[in-house]
Structure formats: C-alpha cells, structure tokens
C-alpha cells in the first residue's frame, strides 16, 4: 500500500517529523510517502493560509495520481482542500481533523480539542459543525503557541500543550483529547503519559483509517458532487490545472 501523506505547509522539518510519525504507526507493507507543496505558507494559522495551501494540496494529489498512490492524508487540522482533493481521485482522502473526531468518538462519549492558537480553534469549531461532531466535543482549547514553535521552541511548546491538556482533563468532563495540529504528530505518546487519558492525534489516526478503507476496497465515490471536476480551461497562474 502506498499512502501519500501531504503536509499542506512548506516546512520541511515538519514534513519529516509527520512522515516519521506516520511510518512508525503504519502496518508492515504500508509505504508512507510524505510530501509538501513547492509553494505556500510555512505554517497554516488562518483562513487565508488555508486558501493558499489548498492549491498546493491539489497539486500534490495530482502527483500522487501519477505515482499510483492508494490513499491520501491531508496533514493539517483545518483539512484544507479536502473536498477538492476528493474530487481528483478515486482513492480515499482523509483530513486529520475529521479522522481525529471519528476516532475520539469511538473511545469516549465526550472529547475536547487542544490546538495551537485561539483563531485556529474557531476553525476547528466550524469543522465540528460541518462534520457532525459538535455534540461530542465539550470544548476547544488553545495552548496559544504559534505552529512553528513546535519546531523552534519544542520543549516550551510541549509544556504549554501538556498544561492545556491537563486543564481539559480536569475541567471539561471528557474521556479523551484530540490534538489540533499536524505538528503535534510526534508528541502523542509523551502527552498521553503526562495527562493520563487517551490522546488522539489526527495523523496517526488517519493512517490507520486509510489502511482500513484500502483494505476494505473502498474509495471516494464518483457518484454525485465528488465526481471528477468538469473539464475546462484555467488561465494565468492556474493554466496548468486545465483538464
């Protein structure tokens, strides 16, 4: 199985760490290919960043189709470009927020989300509503750390995340916590040991769900709105996307 893991930002260090975390959890025989767009934001921390990064995600899907990928994971908690990506392939495409919500709901009746910044927490709230998980989530909490601090100031960032998770555990009446950033992919075990309740991390959750979908022989339906895009010309910077 070839599983194409797309980091929608352009941080090479984060792409490497996410890919390593995915490879550790993957089943024998699953090959993880971790990539990032050639152009775009170095981190994704708002709607504008997501809009720009979504184009890069679709370009990475096109590359994966040429290379014969069996499934795709979009490794940003905003799930940027998820529906557009699903239009471009018959293979399963998973966003790490949606994957995290599904897994957390299977092991607890209520969960909270711990993310990086308050503004990205609002985006997570939008996704909870869109995916139908708002009634499962008690609270979205922010550690108030920029995404790149997970790389540049890792120890301090980890401490803030653990402190925020402990408050969620003690105050929210929950059974599990979903980590709200792809950059936290390698921190799940450390955080779970420090907090003492199940911690769900979207990259690793998506890897196992993708393996299951491929094993079941299920892919993206092409009946309805996720059918391949209608052929048409694109102009200017997007001429290469013409079909």
What is the tens place of the pLDDT at every residue in 57-84? 999 999 999 999 999 999 999 999 999 9
Which token pair is 123? 């985006």
In the predicted model, is pLDDT for residue 131 greater than 70?
yes
> Do β-strands 93-95 and 111-115 pair in parallel, antiparallel, or remain unpaired?
unpaired
Tell me how far CA of residue 5 lies from CA of 91, 149, 221, in angstroms. 13, 22, 20
pLDDT at 20: 96
Q: Helix H segments across the chain?
A: 12-25, 47-67, 82-87, 96-107, 118-131, 149-152, 154-171, 188-195, 202-215
pLDDT band at 36 (very low <50, low <70, confident <90, very high): very high
In the predicted model, is pLDDT for residue 27 greater than 80?
yes
From CA 3, how far away is CA 11, in angstroms rounded?
Answer: 20
Through-space distance between the first and last CA atoms of the chain, rounded to whole angstroms? 28
Phi, psi of 118 (to 5 degrees): -60, -40
pLDDT band at 153 (very low <50, low <70, confident <90, very high): low
Tell me how far CA of residue 31 lies from CA of 69, 103, 219, 228, 239, in angstroms. 10, 22, 18, 26, 32
Per-residue pLDDT tens for 172-211? 999 999 999 999 999 999 999 999 999 999 999 999 999 9
If you ran DSSP here, which 8-state letter would residue 36 be given?
-
* pLDDT, average across residues 110-119: 96
Neighbour-count burial for 172-201, b at 16+ CB within 10 Å, e otherwise = bebbbbbbbbbbbbbbbeebbebbebbbbb
């Amino acid at each position: 199985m070839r599983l194409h893991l797309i980091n929608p930002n352009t941080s090479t260090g984060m792409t490497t760490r996410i890919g390593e975390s995915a490879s550790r959890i993957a089943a024998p025989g699953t090959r993880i290919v971790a990539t990032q767009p050639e152009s775009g934001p170095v981190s994704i921390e708002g709607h504008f960043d997501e809009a720009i990064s979504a184009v890069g995600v679709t370009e990475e899907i096109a590359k994966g189709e040429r290379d014969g990928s069996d499934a795709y994971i979009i490794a940003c908690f905003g799930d940027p470009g998820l529906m557009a990506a699903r239009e471009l392939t018959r293979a399963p495409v998973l966003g790490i927020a949606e994957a995290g919500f599904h897994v957390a709901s299977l092991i607890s009746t209520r969960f909270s989300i711990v993310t990086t910044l308050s503004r990205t927490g609002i985006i997570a709230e939008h996704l909870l509503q869109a995916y139908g998980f708002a009634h499962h989530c008690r609270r979205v909490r922010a550690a108030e750390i920029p995404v790149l601090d997970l790389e540049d100031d890792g120890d301090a960032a980890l401490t803030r995340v653990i402190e925020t998770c402990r408050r969620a555990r003690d105050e929210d009446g929950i059974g599990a916590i979903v980590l709200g950033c792809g950059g936290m992919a390698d921190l799940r075990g450390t955080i779970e040991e420090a907090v003492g309740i199940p911690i769900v991390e979207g990259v690793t959750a998506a890897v196992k769900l993708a393996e299951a979908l491929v094993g079941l022989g299920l892919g993206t339906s092409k009946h309805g709105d996720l059918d391949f895009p209608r052929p048409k010309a694109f102009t200017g910077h997007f001429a290469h996307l013409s079909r």
